[in-house]
Structure 1
Amino acid sequence: MSTIFFATNRNPNNAEPPTDFGKGFSDTGLGDLRFGQAKVKKGVLDHKSIEVLPDNSAQGSEALFQQLRDSMKTQSLDSLLFIHGFNVSFKTAVESAAKIGERYAKLSNKAYQPNMFVFSWPSDGEVISYINDRHDAEASGYAFARGLMKLATFLKSGHPDEACQQKVNLMAHSMGNYVLRHALQQAQKIASGKSLSRIFDNIILTAADEDNDAFEFDHKLAKLPELAQRITVYFNNGDLALTVSDVTKGNPDRLGHDGPSKPHQIAAKVVIVDASDVVKGISEHSYHVENDTVGKDIVAVLQGESSDTIPSRLYVPHANKFRLL
């Protein structure tokens, strides 16, 4: 059984506190966030276990962050924040976070067992709703930015003796990268143009349904390195889902399909990893959790191993990327 922490801007049901969340936005506003936790048993969300915290900072986000800090300090656990992609319900989001935690624990022989925290934005949870989901991902940027600023404030407010000495990492999958882009833009507005605080040790972008020139422009992801010590971008040119996004939805070439368009001009903090040779299957889109080689590589990154010493990587100078073997 896994305990999954969550934040969501989805619409809660009519119970108070809520007992579930739907596929629309909170009626309170696009920036409304509710925090809580739930349990996943044998891969399935136990709806009766959903615990939503009161809708105020002291009893909501701050209480949850303090619970995580205590867990990180007493149990020597990292925390991994996950932003899911397109076609994901609240139930599936929580179950996906649990699956990632369980897979990474297994791949590392239980050496890496982070607290799992998922941000669930109001994806419709339907394959036919790509356009709606893309709009909702963009609109969710404000809520996630508010969450980031709450976390930054909490981290700054702690006494040095409270430091847990563990890592706080972020992973965005598929359209979750589009949420992250718009959260970054909103965070810059909230900060009035000042440099953003470094919150994360590592940011992982996997199968990013994002433009391949995203690191070239401030209105996309160029400022993302301010938030992390290291950013690792995984891509796979056999990713059918991103091919569909590229061709049928009229999007530019995707970051998660071919990597950055100008790999030699990205920030030094950004590391590019080509998973194309090791990922197999029909869709080849969820390799961050389904492929052992990629999973072990991600775990090594999250644990803080140097980019150039991780096994099964070969550096390709002309493309400024690592290729998984």
Structure 2
Amino acid sequence: MFCGNGKPCQTACIGSKGDWQMALFFSRRTYNSQKKKFTNNPSAVTRYVNITEQTPDGDIRKGSIVSQDDWLELVRQDGGDNGVLIYVHGFNTSQKDMLDRMAKIEAGLKSNGYKGAVIAFDWPSDGTIFTYDRDRSDAKKVAPHLVGDGILPLLSMSPKPKINLIAHSMGALVVLRAFSDFGDSAGSGNEVWGTEQVMFASGDVDSTWLEKGAWGSLVLKQRSKRFTNYYSGRDRVLALSDGVINGGRDRVGHEGMPKLTAKGHWDIYCNEQYLRDVPKAKQTITYSHRWWFDNDGFYEDLALTIGGDDDAQDMPTRRKTNITDLALLT
């Protein structure tokens, strides 16, 4: 296969359904050049990918691996001057699933006025429920490249774009580990590097890590202007992660953060939105963990959060509760 410019194309062929749009991501999966596809194994290098076409039936995506400089320019052309949102996927996510969900995120945000670029960090999840420990190990192994090969190069662009992150499930672990591996000197010049808005949805990390003064809270405080944690007690995947896989340690996406949290860190309780918008027939174990990607109200709130102008307590998509948490209810 060849790129449009006639050069040999190292192509990612991923099945996909839905409306077509260009997709930009950087991947730490190994690339098999003979089969022209990515594997589920960790790679020794980061590859920058531009998906440029798909078959008429939408079942196959094709594109090319490009240089970092060319990829950064593509991000700019895709709206990067208006901001960049990096999607960090979770456990049990194939590259196809990652691309499908990134497309949903972009469509949902743009329908609510977002004008920036949406890209993704593609880490080597096996895409199966039976490899939780391996996915967790791989997530830790490649996490630094989210910052070193993604955030920092983006921040080196001129003009410097505003960087936001949305992490789902185990993607929250990737973000925390990535942030903790870089000091202030990693930024360009004498500037302290950082992001604008960081958001977790169904975050699969220990809730205690987000207590004020704990390591997770500290790195988020240092590297972002505001942190928003969307959580649901109806998340049956995280209920299993709480009680079986992680020895009873509460997950922040299931129970929320501890009572004592840092200033600018917000818990968004989403039970009522889930119960109202998801029919009972769809309230399965798996969908209770992924329903965010199909919820218009979630995207409305996400767009307001990324905008950064509204006070967390005054957003029209939220309601006050009888505790300090806010409730998503659109």
Q: TM-score, normalised by structure 1?
A: 0.81
Q: Secondary structure in 1 aligned to 2:130?
A: helix
Indicate the residue corresponding to 2:252 in structure 1.
255
Which aligned pairs between 1:85-124 and structure 2 lie closer than 5 A?
Answer: 85-106=90-111, 108=112, 111-124=113-126
Given the superposition, is the C-alpha separation of residues 169 and 250 from structure 1 closer, same or farther in structure 2, using an over 3 Å criterion? Answer: closer
Question: Would you say 1:64 and 2:71 are equivalent positions?
Answer: yes
Check 1:44–1:91 CA distance in 2 against 1; reply closer, same or farther (3 A cut).
Answer: farther
CA distance in 1, matches of 2:133, 2:305: 33
TM-score (normalised: structure 2): 0.80
* Structure 1: runs of 5 or more not aligned: 54-59
In structure 1, what is the Cα distance between the partners aligned to 2:196 and 2:272?
A: 27
Shift of 1:143: 2.1
Instruction: Report the alpha carbon displacement of residue 221 of structure 1 after superposing the two structures with TM.
Output: 4.1
| Matched residue, 2:4 | none
Q: Pick closer, same or farther for the CA change 1:231–1:220 going to 2, 3 Å.
A: closer
**Whole-Å separation in 1 of the counterparts to 2:134 and 2:193:** 32
Matches within 5 A, 1:228-307: 228-251=224-247, 252-262=249-259, 265-280=260-275, 281-283=283-285, 284-306=288-310, 307=312
- SS of residue paired to 1:127: coil
Change (3 A) 1:209 1:320: same
Q: Which residue pairs with 1:56 in the alignment?
A: none
Tell whether the 8 Å contact from 1:86 to 1:174 is kept in structure 2 after alignment: yes
Contact 1:152 1:197 (8 Å CA) reproduced: no
Deviation at 1:113, TM superposition (A): 4.6
* Contact kept in structure 2, 1:36 and 1:50, CA below 8 Å: yes
Judge conservation of contact 1:203–1:232 (CA < 8 Å) in 2.
yes
Deviation at 1:23, TM superposition (A): 0.3
Unaligned runs of 5+ in 2: 1-19, 276-282
- 2:28 counterpart residue number: 9
Shift of 1:196: 8.5
What percentage of residue pairs aligned between the two structures are identical?
23
Q: 76-85 or 238-247, which moves further after superposition?
A: 76-85
Query: Which residue number corresponds to residue 280 of structure 2?
Result: none
Pick aligned residue for 1:319 from 297, 302, 323: 323
In structure 2, relative to structure 1, the CA distance for the partners of 1:269 and 1:131 (3 Å cut) is same
Q: How many residues align?
A: 295
Deviations 1:102-123 (A, max 9, x none): 23334x2xx2254221101000
Q: 1:291-319 deviations in whole A, cap 9, x for unaligned?
A: 22222211221223411221131223x63
Letter in 2 for 1:246: D
RMSD: 2.7
Once the 2 structures are TM-superposed, how far is the Cα of residue 46 of structure 1 from its aligned partner? Answer: 3.4
